Structure 1
């Protein structure tokens, strides 16, 4: 009798351990979106051409209009979740948004914590400076003060490549632009769209591209494990790239076309 009780207790303990180790199930996000008839899409506001507020105090830009088209084609209401650059990955990790369309480059490090669609756009990140700054590469940044936006690929590359530079980090592109326009910075690491916004406000002393750090492929980010939602968005990107709608949105704001080989990039 004692042995039977012992075996029964052991079986119960093993079952409890198995249940504790089993992954916690969660509802399929695509189903949740369709049931709620609403999709939450995060955008990083204050990024010129991609996500900004126009003269009518309305959110717009290529990322914002892309989000609107996704919601329209899905047949659901759009809830724009406005965030900063630094909050992009955490917003998806904590599921505060269903998707993130916020100039987020597809990198191996980020793939460890969030999922990405195929690329939906590209951008060049650059180092720019005033006429008198002789800069051709990272070594020339040593001893110089350089401004950039926190938690970006720019930040990682400058931190790694220019260890002797004084790096000044800003929470978003809007504050970086303000610092450059007010004369606090003569050297910046940013993207071409942000540089254009800076120079528009400092025409007497424009910053010029010194070197291109990298061309980035941008992906729409989503929580890991949401394979059906990822498949839906990938199909949407392919369809709207081929029918020209995505390119029309991008060209309206950036005055250039998307790369023809965009869908083959990873």
Structure 2
């Protein structure tokens, strides 16, 4: 290459790099603003919901409130839905996501996660009188799931091999109605939702029969924010050890954070 052209190319690249905006430091922005913006879905009880006076309540809500209080910040909830949690983070509308966000390889490609602050036990559940101890007991039966959930995806892969079918509903509320009314032989959902089914129809006494997996629930943040991630991890570690996060979870979910999470 011509030396003159080479020098000109280097100069162009240097100018271009100098013109690029510096990577934002989310932790500094939060501290300067004095406010923490948290994306939380208020339509997924008991993690996030609105009470009779339209005040946010739930385990994720109290987790965010505790975080803001410990950091001496005002708290602003960015109401979201499942599909908009990550976009709200990527566009800078929210600083972090605390909203039953399970850690998956696909999500980890576009955002970062803290260590788990809670867990979600995914189970096969049925009335107490229904005998289900392994997959053989579900051959020829329909398992009720909420469409598009991790349970739906997980069970779809093995349906033909294991001999069960899936009965899909569009949301958790409809799944609960089907179970409570006796229309569902078995459901695949979170242990928390099973507790709600049991409360609504104690006679059926829905209970977990098999555990599918335990999902890590973590705080989501933008990529390349090491200072914020470290500070959040330190906060989670402290509040796991002192029992505050477990107390919040048990208050709303009716059971402790899964031991698999607490032992990490």
Q: TM-score, normalised by structure 2?
A: 0.80
1:37 aligned to 2:34? yes
Q: CA 1:50–1:36 in 2, change beyond 3 Å: closer, same or farther?
A: same
SS in 2 for 1:96: coil
Correspondence for 2:170: 170
Q: Which residue number in structure 2 is paired with residue 235 of structure 1?
A: 234
Q: CA deviation at 1:244?
A: 3.0
Q: How far apart are residue 16 of structure 1 and its match?
A: 4.1
Q: Which moved more, 1:252-261 or 1:29-38?
A: 252-261
2:8 matches 1:12: yes
Q: Distance in 2 between matches of 1:197 and 1:82?
A: 23
Corresponding position: 1:100 with 2:108? no
Task: Give the conservation status (yes or no) of the 8 Å contact 2:114–2:229.
Answer: yes
1:50·1:62 contact (CA, 8 Å) conserved in 2? Answer: yes
Partner of 1:62: 59
Structure 2 distance, partners of 1:45, 1:8, is 61
Distance 1:100 1:193 in 2: 20
1:65 deviation in Å?
0.1
The residue that corresponds to 2:74 in the other structure is 77
Matches of 1:23 and 1:167, distance apart in 2: 51
Relative to structure 1, is the Cα distance of residues 23 and 91 closer, same or farther in structure 2, using a 3 angstrom cutoff?
same
- Structure 2 residue 250 is the aligned partner of structure 1 residue 254: no
Please list every run of 5 or more consecutive structure 1 residues that lacks an aligned counterpart in the other structure.
none
TM-score (norm 1): 0.80
Unpaired runs of 5+ residues, structure 2, are none
In 2, Cα distance between equivalents of 1:9 and 1:206: 79
Contact 1:129–1:187 (8 Å) recurs in 2: yes
Cα gap change, 1:133/1:96 in structure 2, threshold over 3 Å: closer, same or farther?
A: farther
Query: Number of paired residues?
Result: 260
Distance 2:192 2:258 in 1: 16
Residue 227 to residue 125, structure 1, CA distance change in 2 (3 Å): same
- C-alpha separation in 1, matches of 2:109 and 2:137: 33
Distance 2:72 2:48 in 1: 22
**Residues 117 and 217 of structure 2 are in contact (CA less than 8 Å); yes or no, is this contact kept in structure 1?**
yes
Between 1:84-93 and 1:121-130, the stretch displaced more is 84-93
Q: CA deviation at 1:228?
A: 0.9
The equivalent of 1:48 in structure 2 is 45
> Does the alignment pair 1:155 with 2:152?
yes
Q: Is the alpha carbon distance of 1:244 and 1:201 closer, same or farther for their aligned partners in structure 2, counting shifts above 3 Å?
A: closer
Contact 2:195 2:254 in 1 (8 A): no
Kept in 1, the 8 Å contact 2:156–2:166? The answer is no
Mapped partners of 2:41, 2:138: distance in 1 = 28
Secondary structure (helix, strand or coil) at the match of 1:46 reads coil
State whether residues 120 and 258 of structure 2, in contact with CA within 8 Å, keep that contact through their aligned partners in structure 1: no
Tell me how far apart the structure 1 counterparts of residues 175 and 34 of structure 2 sit (CA, whole Å). Answer: 37
